[in-house]
Structure 1
Amino acid sequence: MIKKKIRESVEGAVKNFWGEIKELNFEVEKPKKEIYGDYSTNIALVLKNKLNLSPLEIAEKIASKLRDNTSIFSKIDVASPGFINFWISTDYYIENLKKILELKEGYGKLDLGKGKRVLIEFVSANPTGPLHIGHGRGAAYGDSLARMLEFTGYKVFREYYINDKGTQMNVLGESVYLRAKELSGEKIQFPEDHYKGKYIYDIAKEALKLYPDLLSLEKDRAIEICRSLAIKLILEDIKKDLENFRVFYDNWYSEENLYKSGKVEKVLQVLREKDLVYEKEGALWFKSTIFGDEKDRVIVRSNGETTYFAGDIAYHYEKFMERDFDVAINIWGADHHGYIGRLKAALQAFKIDPEKLKVILIQMVNLIEGGEKKSMSTREGEFLELKELVNKVGVDATRFIFLSRSPDSPLDFDVDLAKSKSQENPVYYVQYAHARICSVFEKAKENGINELSWENVDLKALNEKEEIELLKKLEEFYEVIESASISLAPYKITYYLLEIAKQFHEYYSKHRILTNDLKLTYARLGLCFACKTILKTGLNLLGVFAPEKM
Structure 2
Amino acid sequence: MTPEELSVALRGILTEAVDAGELSLGTSMIEAPRVERPKNRDHGDWSTNVALQLAKKAGMNPRDLAAVVAGRLTAIEGVAAVDVAGPGFLNITLEAASAGGLARTIVEAGREFGRGRSEAGRVVNLEFISANPTGPLHIGHTRWAALGDSMRRLLDATGAQVTSEYYINDAGAQMDKYGASVLARARGQEPPEGGYPGPDVALRAAEVLAARPDLLDLPEDEALEIARDLGCTAQLAAIRSTLDGFGVHFDVWFSERTLHEGGAVEKAIARLREQGHIVESDGAIWLRTTTFGDDKDRVLIRANGEPTYFASDAAYYLSKKDRGFTEKIYLLGADHHGYIGRLKAIAACAGDDPDVNIEVRIGQLVDIGGERMGKRRGNALYLDDLLEWIGTDAIRYSLARYPADSPLSLDGEELRKRSNDNPVFYVQYAHARAAGVARLAAEDGVRREDAFDPSLLTHPTEAALLAILGDFPRVVAQAAHLYEPHRVARYLEGLAARFHKWYDECRVRPGVVDGRLEETTDLHRTRLWLNDATRQVLANGLDLLGVSAPERL
What TM bracket, shorter-length normalisation? 0.7 to 0.9
1:201 deviation in Å? 3.4
Alpha carbons 1:459, 1:526 under 8 Å: kept: no
Shift of 1:529: 0.9
CA contact (8 A) 2:96 2:454 kept: no
Distance 1:337 1:229 in 2: 33
Structure 2 counterpart of 1:417: 414
Native 8 Å contact 1:128 1:172 kept in 2: yes
Match 2:548 to one of 541, 545, 549: 545
Secondary structure of residue in 2 paired with 1:409: coil
Q: 1:221 to 1:52 in 2, by over 3 A?
A: closer
Give me the whole-angstrom Cα distance separating, in 2, the residues matched to 1:97 and 1:205. Answer: 57
Alignment check: 8 A CA contact 1:375 1:383 kept: no
Q: What is the CA distance between 1:60 and its match in structure 2?
A: 4.4
**1:131-150 equivalent positions in 2, closer than 5 A:** 131-150=137-156
Whether contact under 8 Å (1:118, 1:154) holds in the other structure is: yes
Where do residues 84-99 of structure 1 align in structure 2 (5 Å cutoff)? 84-99=90-105
Alpha-carbon offset, residue 129 of structure 1:
0.8
**Pairwise CA RMSD:** 3.2
Deviations 1:383-436 (A, max 9, x none): 111111111122222221121112222222321122111111122111111111
SS in 1 for 2:335: helix
**2:325 is paired with a residue of what secondary structure?**
coil
Cα offsets for 1:180-211 (capped at 9, x unmatched) = 56x35xxx7964x5433222333345556766
Distance 1:495 1:414 in 2: 19
1:542: Cα distance to partner?
1.9
Q: CA deviation at 1:507?
A: 1.1
Q: Distance in 2 between matches of 1:111 and 1:24?
A: 18
The residue aligned with 1:256 is 257
Partner of 1:368: 369
Instruction: Give the drift of 1:349.
Output: 2.6
CA distance in 2, matches of 1:30, 1:442: 32
Show the counterpart of 2:539. Answer: 536
Aligned partner of residue 334 in structure 1, secondary structure: coil
Q: CA separation of 1:506/1:306 partners in 2, compared to 1, >3 Å: closer, same or farther?
A: same
Distance 2:272 2:469 in 1: 53
User: Out of 74, 78, 86, which is 1:67 matched to?
Assistant: 74
Distance 1:541 1:218, change over 3 A: same
* One of 455, 460, 469 as aligned partner of 1:460: 455
The residue type equivalent to 2:233 in the other structure is: K
Match of 1:20 in 2: 25
Q: Is the 8 A contact 1:176 1:230 kept in 2?
A: yes
Partner of 2:524 in structure 1?
521
Map of 2:495 onto structure 1: 500
Check whether the contact 1:161–1:252 (CA below 8 A) recurs between aligned residues. Answer: yes
Identity value in percent: 39
**In structure 1, the residue corresponding to 2:338 is in which secondary structure?**
helix
The answer to whether the 8 A contact 2:25-2:58 is kept is no
- SS of alignment partner, residue 163 of structure 2: strand
Question: What's the offset of the Cα at 1:39?
Answer: 4.2
CA distance in structure 2 between the aligned counterparts of 1:189 and 1:256, rounded to whole angstroms = 24
Deviations 1:214-241 (A, max 9, x none): 6776655554443333312211110111
| Per-residue deviation, 1:11 | 4.8
Work out whether residues 367 and 374 of structure 1, in 8 Å CA contact, stay in contact via their aligned partners in 2. no
**For the Cα contact (< 8 Å) 2:441–2:508, is it kept in 1?**
no
Q: Write the distance in 2 (CA, Å) between the matches of 1:303 and 1:62.
A: 72
* Compared CA separation, residues 158 and 59, structure 1 to 2 (3 A): closer
Return closer, same or farther for 1:232/1:158 CA change in 2, 3 Å cut-off.
Answer: same
Match of 2:460, as an amino acid?
Answer: K
Q: Provide the C-alpha distance between the structure 2 equivalents of 1:275 and 1:327, rounded to a whole number of angstroms.
A: 23
Query: Within 2, Cα distance between the matches of 1:48 and 1:438?
Result: 48
Letter in 2 for 1:459: P
Mind listing any 5+ residue stretches in structure 2 that lack a counterpart?
A: 511-517
TM-score of the pair, normalised by structure 1: 0.87
Residue equivalent to 1:487: 482
What is the alpha-carbon distance in structure 1 between the residues aligned to residue 453 and residue 5 of structure 2? 27
Which residue does 1:334 correspond to in 2? 334
Number of residue equivalences:
537
Residue 514 of structure 1 aligns with an amino acid whose one-letter code is: R
Q: Hey, what's the Cα distance between the residues in 2 that align with 1:206 and 1:47?
A: 68
Match of 1:320 in 2: 321
Which residue does the alignment assign to 1:239?
Answer: 240
Tell me the CA shift for residue 4 of structure 1: 7.5
TM-score by length of structure 2 reads 0.87
Structure-2 separation of matches of 1:429 and 1:174: 49
- Structure 1 residue aligned with 2:383, among 381, 386, 399? 386
Shift in Å, 1:277:
0.7
Structure 1 residues 152, 51: CA separation in 2 closer, same or farther (over 3 Å shift)? closer
1:477 matched to 2:478? The reply is no
1:295 partner SS: coil
User: Structure 1 stretches of 5 or more lacking a match?
Assistant: none
1:345: which partner in 2? 345
